[in-house]
Amino acid sequence: MGERILKLMMDILSQPAVLVALISLVGLIIQKKPVSEIVKGTTKTLLGFLVISAGAGIIVQSLDPFGKMFQSAFHVSGVVPNNEAIVAMALNEFGSATAFIMFFGMIANILIARFTKLKYIFLTGHHTLYMACMLAVILVVSGLQGIPLIVVGSLALGLIMAVFPAICQPIMRKITGNDSVGFGHFSSIGYVASGLVGKVVGKGSRSTEEISFPKGLGFLRDSSVTISLTMVVLYIIIAIFAGPSYVETELSGGTHYLVFSVIQGVTFAAGVFVILSGVRLVLAEIVPAFKGISTKLVPDSKPALDCPVVFPYAPNAVLIGFFSSFLGGIVGMVILAMTGSVIILPGVVPHFFTGATAGVFGNATGGVRGATLGSFVNGLIITFLPVFLMPVLGNLGFASTTFSDTDFAASGILLGNIAKSLGATGVTITVVGLVILAVVFGFFKKNKANQDSQQMEA
C-alpha cells in the first residue's frame, strides 16, 4: 500500500500537466470562482500542458534520427548528455530518496517563496524530479542517509527552485513585457549568459523578428514555413553525409532517404507549431488562476514555467538559437577531443530546447547578434560543464550519459565538491546556512520596505 501511495505521489508531482492543473484548481478555488469557471480553467490548463508535451514529443521523435545520422556521418562516440536517460538509471537505486526529496522540496520551495524575497514557485514537474534525483545521488555519495538526507536534499531543492527563476527574471521581463510569469527550467545559467552576451554584442542589432525578406520571399515571414524549409535542408545535408543506405536500412524502414528527410524536417516544424499553441492556451489560464495563490498563500509570488513559455515571443530566435547552440556543441566537442578529455557529444534534443531558449534570451538583449552568439556560448557551456559534473556522481559518473542542462551541472559541481572537501557535515551546514541567509535577508528587506512606507506616509 505504501509503495502504491509513493508511486501515485511521484506520478502526480513529476507530470507538469497534472501539477500545474492542480495549482490552477487551488488558485481558482481560493478566489471563490464559480464551479463552471473552476472546471473550465483547470481543464484548459491541463489541456494546454498536454498540448505542449505532445509538441515536445513530436520534436524529440523527429530529432532522434537526426542525432543518429550525425554520429554515423562523422564517426564520433562519447558521452551523450540526456536528463531522462541518466535519471532512469539513477532511480533504480535512489528512487525512494528522490521521491521524498521532491515532495518535501516542493513544500520547501513554497515556504522559501513565502518567507524570502525569492517569490517564485517552480512548476516544471519533470525538471523538479531530475534535480531531486541528482541531489539524492550527490548527497548519498557524500555520506548522508535517512532523515538528514531528506531534510538537506529538500532544503537544497527548494532553494534551487527559487534562486534560478530569480536570476532569469530581469531578462524575462524584457521578453514578455510584464512581470507576471517567472521562468522555470534548469538551464538558467546558459540563458542568462546568452542574455549577457547579447548586451555586449547586440548594440544596434535588430530583433530576429524584424528580419526582412525580399518581396519574392515574403512567405518566409511565416515562422512555420521558415522552420520547415530550414530543417528539411539540414536533414537532407546530414542524410547525404550519413549515406542513403544507412538511413534507409537503420532509420527510415526502407523509405527513400530524401523523402524521409523531408518528412522529419516538416515534422519538427509541426512540433514547434503545437508547442506554441499549447503555450498560448496555458498562459491564458494559469496566470489568472495563480492570482489566488499569489494573493492569499504566497503574496507577490509568480509561477515559474517551462522553457517553451518564451517561444511565442521570438519564433525566429528559436531556430537561430538551436543552430547556434548546436554549432557551439560541435566546437566544444572538438576542443575536448583535442585536449584528451571525456568527449561530450552534442545531444540534439538538449541543444534544441536550451539553444532555442538561449536564442530568445539573447535576442531580448541583443537582437540577431545576441541570439546567435549568446546561443553559441550556451552550446559551449552545456558541453564543458558536464565534464566537471561527472566525477561527483559516484558510479553514475562512469555511465555513457549524464545531466544535460547547466543548472544541474552547476548545482552538482558545487555540492559535490563541498562534499568531497568537507563531507556530509559541510554540505549540511552550507545548505542550511544558505536557506537561513535567504530568510534573514528577506526579513530585513521587508522591514526596510515597511519603514520606507511609514516615512512616506509621515
Give the model's confidence band at 215: pLDDT under 50 very low, under 70 low, under 90 confident, else very high.
low
Amino acid at 434: L
**Distance between CA 403 and CA 78 in Å, rounded?**
14
**Distance between CA 153 and CA 133 in Å, rounded?**
10
Give the model's confidence band at 445: pLDDT under 50 very low, under 70 low, under 90 confident, else very high.
low
Q: What's the confidence (pLDDT) of residue 366?
A: 94
User: Which range (2-11, 24-33, 130-139, 398-407) has the least confidence?
Assistant: 2-11
Give the model's confidence band at 6: pLDDT under 50 very low, under 70 low, under 90 confident, else very high.
low
- pLDDT tens string 231-273: 898 889 989 999 999 999 999 888 999 999 999 989 988 988 8
C-alpha cell at 74: 562523422
Q: What's the confidence (pLDDT) of residue 220?
A: 57
**Distance between CA 234 and CA 236 in Å, rounded?**
5
Position with higher pLDDT, 60 vs 351: 351
**Distance between CA 73 and CA 164 in Å, rounded?**
37
